Amino acid sequence: MEFVERFKKSFNIEWVKLELLKTAYGKKETYMGQLDPRVIMIWYLIVSLLPWFTFNFVILLGLAVYTSVLALITRVSPLIIFLLAISVIGELGYIFIVVFFMGGDFEAYASLVTLTLKIIIMSIASIAAFASMDPEKLSDALLSFGIPAQFSFAVSYGYRMLPILMDEYQQIIQSFRLRGKAPEKSGFLKWKLIYYYIVIVIKAFYPMMLNTAKRTRTTVEALEVRGFSYSLHSEEAKKQKLSHLKIKGKEYQFIAVSSLILTMIHIAGHFYYI
């Protein structure tokens, strides 16, 4: 029971909010965080594509271990890991049930696990990559790859809106609770209470969107006043914006080490085939 109490104390909306903000805005002093975002983007593309070219279990395991180590180095928030773990466990369980009822054997299960492993590698790689880039770096990297400025700005503005949206959402939920009534008896496994909360969480969504939408009217006008639409057609503006991106020794080192490790994993897979 004590564990439940502790869990309830530390696992609440406030905590989720803090963890998400930390992921988005926390100080990026990790190894990956100091690299040029373009290098990380390319690394991510390669690592998440590689698993789809092979069915070799050793290579897949190797990739999974490699990406997990990098994710550990970037100190990913426990919330994100928790979410990933839930989805992986859920996925495996669901595969098991499907295979069991469809009368498949272990082989069928193994091939589905391979698919899951591939997806896991992709997710871990994306966690490692995106948790180590702040939104600004990400949007600059996108811009330098020639993606339209509207889109790359939307990415960084989305992050900027994140805390505002979350505050708004939390307050609307509280507003519902301040005038609502929780069920008297919580029922078997507290299902009545859980149902009550789920309904609030869904209903609170609409007022949040409306309130936020209303605020963005000023933002749109201010974008115009502050020269954003001008910058869309200005090469000079783009050059200035990206002037801080540089590939130096650290980046070359990262590229070399990564290529080496990836090659070794593939060689190992060649010799030990499962």
Partner 1 sequence: MKPIIELSDVHFRYPGATENVLNGATLSIEQGEFLAVIGGNGSGKTTLCKTFNGLIPNYYTGDFSGSIMVDGSDVSQMTVSEMSFRVGYVYQDYENQLMRPTVLDDVSFAPLNFGAPDFMEKALWALETLGIEHLKDQSIWQLSGGQKHLAAIAGVLALDPQILIIDEPVAQLDPHHAKEIYQRLKVLQEDFGKTIIVIEHHTEFIADFCTDVLLVDQGKVLWKHPVRQGLLQIEDLVKRDIFPPQVMQAALNCEIPLDSSDFPMTIADAQKYFHGLQFIEKESESDRIVEKKEQIASLENLSFSAKTLSNERKTILNKISTSFHAGERIALVGTNGAGKTSLMKCLTGMNKPTSGGGSIGSHSFEKGSLEKLSQEVSYIFQNPEEMFIQDSIKNDLTFFSQSRERDDSSFIEKLIQSFRLEEVLEKDGRLLSGGQQRRASMAIGLATNPTLLMLDEPTASLDVQSRKELIEILQEMDSVATALVATHDMQLVAEWATRVIVMEQGEVTFDGTPREMFDYGHVWKRAGLVPPQIVQLSIELGMRPAALSVNEFTSRIKEGVPDGVC
The residues that touch partner 1, with contacts defined as CB under 8 A, are 14-15, 18, 21-22, 25-26, 134-136, 156-157, 159-160, 163-164, 168, 171-172, 174-182, 203-204, 207, 210-211, 214-219, 221-231, 234-241
Q: Which is nearer to partner 1, 17 or 266 (CB)?
A: 17
Q: Which is nearer to partner 1, 115 or 210 (CB)?
A: 210
CA distances (Å), origin 134, targets 94, 102, 117, 211: 34, 45, 27, 27
Closest approach of partner 1 to the CB of residue 40, in Å: 18
Q: Which is nearer to partner 1, 20 or 88 (CB)?
A: 20
Closest approach of partner 1 to the CB of residue 187, in Å: 16
Closest approach of partner 1 to the CB of residue 144, in Å: 15
259-263 contact pairs (CB < 8 A, 24+): 261/66, 262/46, 262/47, 262/50, 262/66
Closest approach of partner 1 to the CB of residue 247, in Å: 21
Please state the φ and ψ torsions of residue 47, each to the nearest 5 degrees.
-65, -35
Residue with tokens 């339209």: 148
Closest approach of partner 1 to the CB of residue 33, in Å: 15
- Number of Cβ within 10 Å of residue 117's Cβ equals 17
Q: Which is nearer to partner 1, 192 or 266 (CB)?
A: 192
Residue 185 DSSP one-character state: S
Of the chain, the end-to-end C-alpha distance in Å amounts to 45
Please state the φ and ψ torsions of residue 116, each to the nearest 5 degrees.
-60, -40
* Torsion angle defined by CA atoms of residues 123, 3, 197 and 94, in that order, rounded to the nearest 10 degrees: 40
Q: Which is nearer to partner 1, 109 or 176 (CB)?
A: 176
Q: Give the DSSP H or E segment for 4.
A: helix 2-10
Closest approach of partner 1 to the CB of residue 160, in Å: 6
Taking alpha carbons only, the member of 13, 19, 20 closest to residue 204 is 13
Q: Which is nearer to partner 1, 175 or 263 (CB)?
A: 175
Closest approach of partner 1 to the CB of residue 83, in Å: 20
Q: Which is nearer to partner 1, 30 or 68 (CB)?
A: 30
* Cα dihedral 21, 136, 31, 81 sign: positive
